[in-house]
A and B are shown apart, each in its own frame.
Chain A
Amino acid sequence: MNALISADLPALFAALVAFCVVVYVLADGFDLGVGILFLLAPRDADRDLMMASIEPVWDGNETWLVMGGTLLLATFPAGYYVLLPAFYLPVMTMLLALIFRGVAFGFRLQTRRLRWVWDLAFAAGSMVATLCQGFILGGLVGGVTVRDGMFAGGPFDAFGWLGLACGLGLLGGYALLGAGWLIWKTGGPTQVFAREVAHAALLLTGAMMVVVSAWSAIAVPEVAARWFAWPGIAWLSPVPLLAAAVMATLWRRIWTGGDAGTFVLALALFLLGFVGLVVSLWPYVVPRHITLWQGAADPQTLAFAGVGLLLIVPIVLAYQAHAYWVFRGKTRLTLG
């Protein structure tokens, strides 16, 4: 974190990439979460409402995935061309899952008899995409095989127990975000359903956060050293403690808190998890092989990209906020 303060260019751009990843995870997280909960919802009316609540914004949310990928290519190409081949199968599977999930928005309302097909595509697509992101995350924490600056492992390297634990944790976490979103944006039985599933989602998230943290500390000595060596532990211990506090508050307030409370606390939990991840992975683009400074693009490339980012990202955030504002309030199903 000290390097951020000294503000050298690669560290600054690492913060920007991290920002895009965070926005993606939080934004697409809740709409993937709605998909994860989709088939659990008791009635068709709930499903229609759940879909309608994310329909105007999911496309903007998913665009952050493209933004993150292209930003990585532009600013830390080493991360892009080493990690993407390393995660070939989970990335490809995720993209396929996102395809079926994405077209379900348009297609499911076009048919009544075969609506269940697109319901299934939407729910399964959301879950498979989430699991794949978990395997990618697990592969990142566990490390990939690199020789001569290129990926040198096999296609199934990313599929391990750590990745599965990350995937389950993300399933729970996204479901929690989705439930929080639904509690906020809907009312009536749909909101009650969201409250009902939120506890289970929280339980799964919490359990997997513990498993993944313990596993990575045991399996990767560098991660353990980062967290447990003095004086790091004094600085870093607030992260897990705060996460525990957020989880405890969430546990007690899901039924009694305000409409937006669950969503906001779930966002906070994700942010804390992300901080923990950054602590474990800093300062690598390809963990324990290529650092930010070794993997960064040319200074003139960073400058060319940076000008646009500084000028345009605030505008993008402004009109995305505007889109959310236009569709503010509880989602209702209205006759066209």
Chain B
Amino acid sequence: MDAVVLARLQFAFTIGFHILWPTLTIGLASFVALLSGLWWRTGRPVYRDLMRFWLKIFALTFGVGVVTGVVMSYEIGTNWAGFSRSVSNVLGPLFMYEALTAFFLEAGFIGILLFGEGRVGKAMHFVAACLVAGGTLLSTTWILAANSWMQTPAGAVADAAGIYHAVDWWDVVINPSFPYRLAHMVCASFITSAFVVASVSAFHLRRSRNIEASRTAFSLAMWMVLVLTPTQIVLGDLHGRNTLAHQPTKLAAMEGLWDTTRGAPMTLLAWPDMSAERNRFAIEVPHVASLYLTHSWNGEVQGLKAVPPADRPDVPVVFFAFRIMVGIGLVLLATAITGAILRARGRLYDTRWFLRVVMATAPLGYVAVLAGWTTTEAGRQPWVVYGALRTADAVAPVAAGAVASTLLVFIAAYAVLLVAFLWFARRIVIAGPAGGETPMPSALRPGPDRGAPTLAGAAPALPARPAPAPGE
């Protein structure tokens, strides 16, 4: 394989794996902040138990997210030297601001959030939780501003050597697709996290354990998805119309539309054949694509043939990824509405088949996020900066063998990481939000010298162990 394909594979794999963790921590950080605030204001132990429980999952997730994120900040240089040479004047400060405003904020208060309970007051704990949650959102903002600029570059001009220079920072950051992409991604993270919370709570409800805490969390999560899944569909529609305006070729690939058409049909399923420039086995609904894209029965939608074949993305990848995302969105919407109907009839917590359905939704948000990300990134090809810088011109002068071998090592390492994470998360989930004194994600708490019982140097066998798990 050539260096471009390998570099793309490596970047896609490492960022695709990385994105799984922020997706959960963005939502969970806000959820934990909510629980910390509720515990501070109401003093109800159920909020404390839930907060501690979700903090353990959050801590495990956050750790993997941080270390896989460090990889990303260096891969832009190691694998994409041409890209960083061309756009560093524009995107460099955005990445820098992400580290400066977001990562430090998270890192500065994560210690207090995880280990500070009992050392700082409830109010300070709540503040720390809010700052960590704010950090995750700020991070999302900067990174999506940078990504959106690559999709819809604005506020900068290229010189003869292909080096971009910023002329208006406001235009660079608030570029045309940024608000839609940001809203769509944050909403996706909250929905994914809410379904994870709902799924874990449904698991406990089915086993009739931790009833009060699980009902509270399940109720909160189901309200959340009832509000957010329809919102996400509206946001997706706005985002799609923005793509139509600014990245028509990507949109044509999403729709599988080859000829520029008035009254374009919605293609439910098909096999887009790139060499024949048409769809095989297409199932179409006339006029509907024009209706939802242009909000008019006979609106014109640009087709793939408007650009030469060399400027088109891999159509089947974009086409199917988009359908997976939308399909999952509809399943999640149906789940949320069913939950609302059951709630209205007073049967939300003990309809066993529904609890089972909700349990099954936990991975769906992730699949949708990965599919959505594939749609937007693969849809941008063959450009790394849409219409301006080709991916082939962006790679680094690195030997293909070096990229291939590190890619294999990354695949092996991330597989180990994922298995270990799922194993430990499963154990925390099964233990559940027990009441009483199991406060921290780790059983060991660093503490100041305030007469706390000293175990250092006491007995060789350390009592401060996590409870033995069922698996051992």
A-side residues, CB < 8 A to B, are: 43-45, 48-49, 51-53, 55-57, 59-60, 62-63, 65-67, 69-71, 73-75, 77-78, 80-85, 87-89, 91-92, 95-96, 98-103, 105-107, 109-113, 149-152, 154-155, 186-190, 297-298, 300-301, 304-305, 308-309, 312-313, 316, 319-320, 322-323, 326-336
Residues of A within 8 A of B165 (CB): 298, 300-301
Question: CA of A82 to CA of B71 in the docked complex: distance in angstroms?
Answer: 18
> Which residues does chain B contribute within 8 Å of A100, judged by CB atoms?
413
Q: Is the CB of B457 within 8 A of A187?
A: yes
Q: Do B81 and A59 touch across chains, with their CB atoms under 8 A apart?
A: no
Where chain B touches its partner, the secondary structure class is helix
Which residues does chain A contribute within 8 Å of B1, judged by CB atoms?
none
Whether A60 contacts B107 in the complex (CB less than 8 A), given A48-B444, A334-B447, comes out as yes
Q: Which of A92, A102, A301, A309 is B66 in contact with, Cβ under 8 Å?
A: A102
**Cβ contacts under 8 Å, A152 to chain B:** 397
Partner of B456, one of A56, A82, A99, A187: A187
State the B residues within 8 Å of A (CB): 59-60, 63-64, 66-71, 73-74, 76-78, 81-82, 84-85, 88-93, 95-101, 103-112, 114-116, 119-120, 165-167, 169, 396-399, 401-403, 406, 409-410, 413, 417, 420-421, 424, 427-428, 437-450, 452-460, 462-466, 468-469, 472
- Nearest-neighbour CB distance to chain A for B380, whole angstroms, equals 21
Which residues in A have their C-beta under 8 angstroms from that of B466?
Answer: 109-110, 112
- Please name all residues of chain A whose beta carbon is closer than 8 Å to the beta carbon of B112 when the two chains form the complex: 56, 323, 326
Report the separation of the CA atoms of residues A103 and B439 in the bound assembly, to the nearest whole angstrom.
Answer: 20
**Residue contact A300 to B399, C-beta cutoff 8 Å:** no
Chain B residues whose C-beta falls within 8 Å of the C-beta of A71 in the assembled complex:
96, 99
Q: Are A99 and B67 in contact (CB under 8 A)?
A: yes
Bound Cα distance from A336 to B108, whole angstroms: 22
B413, A99: Cβ atoms closer than 8 Å: yes
A95 touches B74 (CB 8 A): yes
Q: Which residues of B contact A48 (CB under 8 A)?
A: 444, 462, 464
Asked if A335 contacts B463 (CB within 8 A), the reply is yes
Interface pair B420/A332, CB less than 8 Å apart: no
Residues from chain B with Cβ under 8 Å of A187 in the complex: 456-457
Complex interface: chain B residues within 8 A of A85 (CB) = 77-78, 81, 396-398
Which chain A residue shows the least CB distance to B454?
A332
In the assembled complex, the Cα of A78 lies from the Cα of B66 at a distance in Å of 26
Taking a contact as CB atoms under 8 Å apart, the answer to whether A109 and B104 are in contact is no
Structural contact, B70 and A88, CB atoms closer than 8 A: no
Complex formed: what's the CA distance from A73 to B472 in Å? 47
**Chain A neighbourhood of B469, CB < 8 A:** 110-111
Residues of A within 8 A of B78 (CB): 84-85, 87-88, 91-92
Whole-angstrom CA separation of A91 from B70 in the bound complex: 11
CB of B464 within 8 A of CB of A333, answer yes
Given A75-B92, A88-B78, A326-B119, 19 additional A-B pairs, CB 8 A: A43-B460, A45-B455, A53-B446, A55-B446, A57-B111, A66-B73, A74-B95, A77-B84, A91-B78, A101-B67, A106-B63, A110-B427, A155-B398, A300-B166, A300-B169, A305-B92, A319-B109, A327-B448, A334-B455
- List chain B residues, Cβ under 8 A from A80: 77, 84, 88
Residue of A nearest to B169 (CB): A304
> In the complex, what's the smallest C-beta–C-beta distance from A54 to chain B, in angstroms?
8
Q: A52 and B444 in contact (CB under 8 A), knowing A304-B169, A335-B464? A: yes
Query: Which residues from A are CB-within-8-Å of B459?
Result: 45
B389 to chain A, nearest CB (A): 14
- B456 near A67: Cβ-Cβ < 8 Å: no
Closest CB in chain A relative to B408 CB, distance in Å: 12
Check B84 against A73 for contact (C-beta < 8 Å). yes
A326 to B445, CA, bound (A): 13
In Å, the complex CA distance between A309 and B99 comes to: 11
In the bound assembly, the distance between CA atoms of A109 and B60 in angstroms comes to 11
Q: Quick one: given A60-B104, A327-B115, are A109 and B452 in contact (CB under 8 Å)?
A: no
The smallest beta-carbon distance between A59 and chain B, in angstroms, is: 5
A296 to chain B: closest CB distance in Å? 10
Tell me which of B82, B399, B445, B459 has the highest count of chain A C-beta atoms within 10 A of its own C-beta.
B445
Given contacts A44-B462, A67-B99, A330-B449, contact A336 B438 (CB under 8 A): yes
Residues of A within 8 A of B468 (CB): 112
A96/B453 in contact, CB under 8 A? no
| Measured CA separation A261–B419 after assembly (Å) | 43
Docked CA distance A81–B120 (Å): 44
The chain A residue with its CB closest to the CB of B112 is: A326
- From the candidates A95, A103, A328, name the one contacting B420 in the complex (CB within 8 A): A103
In the bound complex, residues from chain B placing their C-beta under 8 Å from that of A59 are 66, 106-107, 110-111
Select the residue from A45, A51, A100 with max chain B CB neighbours within 10 A.
A45
CA distance A80 to B443 in the complex (A): 41
Known interface pairs A85-B398, A92-B78; A73-B96 also in contact (CB < 8 Å): yes
- Partner of B70 from the list A60, A66, A332, A334 (CB cut-off 8 Å) is A66
A44 surroundings in chain B (CB, below 8 A): 460, 462
CB-defined contacts of B398 to chain A, threshold 8 Å: 85, 88, 155
Q: Which residues of A contact B108 (CB under 8 A)?
A: 60, 316, 319-320, 322-323
Cβ-defined partner of A301 (8 Å) among B92, B401, B446, B464: B92
